[in-house]
């Protein structure tokens, strides 16, 4: 998403289900906004600068694009920030189009009634009004189109779907959002980068004054292995329960979620939900090796992941060490 737009739920990179008929749609989003805008800036998209009087075809198209972008942002607010149901959002969109048409009809009747020679001007105005209505209706035509406009105007990154079920089993899916794309969206704004770097500098100065202070892994005994200009990423997992009390399926769905956050952002922003970014999710039942295990010869056997084994090059790469045997240090499993 565009880092200059701040939507609390969009930063969760929520999965926007493309099935319009699914009563159990899960809105997952999302990336990603300018993380340091205040609440006033959040709801102000600068409408006074969006609409400029079109003087030619190019400016007319830009004018319509600005209206479409503003309307898409409005729909995102209703959907993700105010959590309005889809039917309500569609009704609002329909009423807006109806209002524009009624205003156009009223102006047309008054203009022609006052001077019949205004018919040509009224016809041009009506064409513009119809173009505006078409631009607005296109945004909420269906879920697929809505996501496309989110990608067009706000750099929305669609989650990637992965089939995790075995051949012959009922299809089960997981979803993931590439971390690199989310990071690019977050750090696209220079003010965000400046505040992160300033926070890192302040922490470094505080540690120099008092060696007993440790703000992050960077300040630990092994922190010297991390480049000074590297940003720290925290990765963690959680399980949540989802339910739709008014849908056809009222049972509770347990979802396994994986998130990440930037450890180096200023402390006053760390507790905000829009600084916790979704990486992947799946239904908890999919993780069945540890939960259900396997039935072999009539016996149920459960499994737990205990160790990650790799050669030196692979382990060095995961740990951030030099991936070479010719120089540097090697990883000693005993230590």
Question: What is the mean pLDDT of each successive set of 10 residues along the chain, which is 335 residues long?
Answer: 41 40 39 38 44 65 93 94 91 93 87 73 81 93 92 88 85 91 89 92 85 76 74 87 70 84 90 88 78 76 70 69 59 51
Q: Could you tell me the maximum CA-CA distance found in the chain, to the nearest angstrom?
A: 93
Are 256 and 281 contacting, i.e. CB atoms less than 8 angstroms apart?
yes
Are 63 and 54 contacting, i.e. CB atoms less than 8 angstroms apart?
yes
Angle between helices 143-154 and 57-76 (to 10 degrees): 110
**Helix, strand, or coil (residue 236):** strand
**Kind and range of the H or E run holding 334:** none
- Scan for tokens 């963690």, then name that residue: 236
Are 28 and 12 contacting, i.e. CB atoms less than 8 angstroms apart?
yes
> Model pTM greater than 0.75?
no
pLDDT at 332: 55
Strand locations in 127-286 (E): 160-163, 173-176, 233-242, 253-262, 277-283
Separate counts of helices (H) and strands (E) for the chain: 11, 9
How would you class 107 by CB atoms within 10 Å of its CB: exposed for 0-12, middle for 13-18, buried for 19 or more? Answer: middle
**In whole angstroms, what separates CA 122 from the centre of its chain?**
43
Q: Is the dihedral of CA 295, 300, 304, 306 positive or negative?
A: negative
Angle between helices 57-76 and 119-139 (to 10 degrees): 40
Q: Which residues are bridge partners to 254 per DSSP?
A: 241
Phi, psi angles (nearest 5°) of residue 321:
-90, 175
pLDDT at 220: 72
pLDDT at 331: 52
| Domain ranges, ordered by start, for the chain | 33-154, 160-287
d(CA 40, CA 37): 8
Q: Which of 181, 204, 186 is nearest to 11 (CA)?
A: 186
pLDDT at 213: 77
d(CA 157, CA 149): 11
- 244: which DSSP letter? -
Q: How many residues does the chain have?
A: 335
Strand locations in 25-74 (E): 27-29
CA angle 76, 259, 5 (to 5 degrees): 30
pLDDT at 247: 64
pLDDT at 34: 39
d(CA 110, CA 89): 32
């Amino acid at each position: 998403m565009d880092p200059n737009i701040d939507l609390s739920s969009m930063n969760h990179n929520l999965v926007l289900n493309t099935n319009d008929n699914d009563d159990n749609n899960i809105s997952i989003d999302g990336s990603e906004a300018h993380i340091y805008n205040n609440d006033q800036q959040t709801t102000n998209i600068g409408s006074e600068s969006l609409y400029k009087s079109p003087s030619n075809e190019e400016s007319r198209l830009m004018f319509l694009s600005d209206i479409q972008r503003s309307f898409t942002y409005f729909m995102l607010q209703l959907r993700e920030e105010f959590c309005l149901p889809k039917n309500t959002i569609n009704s609002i969109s329909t009423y807006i189009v109806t209002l524009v048409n009624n205003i156009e009809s009223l102006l047309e009747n008054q203009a022609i009634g006052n001077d019949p020679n205004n018919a040509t001007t009224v016809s041009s105005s009506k064409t513009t009004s119809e173009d505006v209505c078409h631009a607005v209706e296109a945004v909420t035509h269906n879920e697929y189109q809505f996501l496309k406009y989110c990608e067009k105007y706000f750099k929305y990154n669609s989650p990637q779907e992965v089939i995790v079920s075995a051949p012959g089993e009922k299809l089960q899916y997981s979803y993931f959002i590439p971390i690199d794309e989310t990071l690019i969206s977050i750090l696209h704004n220079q003010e965000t980068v400046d505040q992160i770097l300033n926070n890192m500098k302040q922490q470094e100065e505080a540690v120099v004054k008092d060696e007993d202070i440790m703000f992050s892994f960077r300040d630990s005994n092994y922190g010297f292995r991390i480049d000074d200009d590297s940003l720290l990423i925290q990765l963690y997992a959680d399980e949540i329960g989802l339910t739709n009390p008014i849908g056809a399926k009222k049972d509770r769905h347990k979802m396994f979620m994986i998130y990440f956050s930037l450890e180096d952002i200023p402390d006053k922003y760390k507790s905000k939900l829009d600084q916790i970014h979704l990486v992947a999710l799946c239904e908890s039942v999919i993780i069945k090796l540890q939960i259900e295990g396997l039935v072999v010869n009539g016996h149920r056997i459960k499994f737990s992941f205990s160790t990650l084994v790799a050669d030196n090059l692979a382990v060095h790469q995961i740990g951030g060490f030099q991936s070479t045997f010719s120089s540097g240090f090697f990883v000693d499993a005993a230590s």
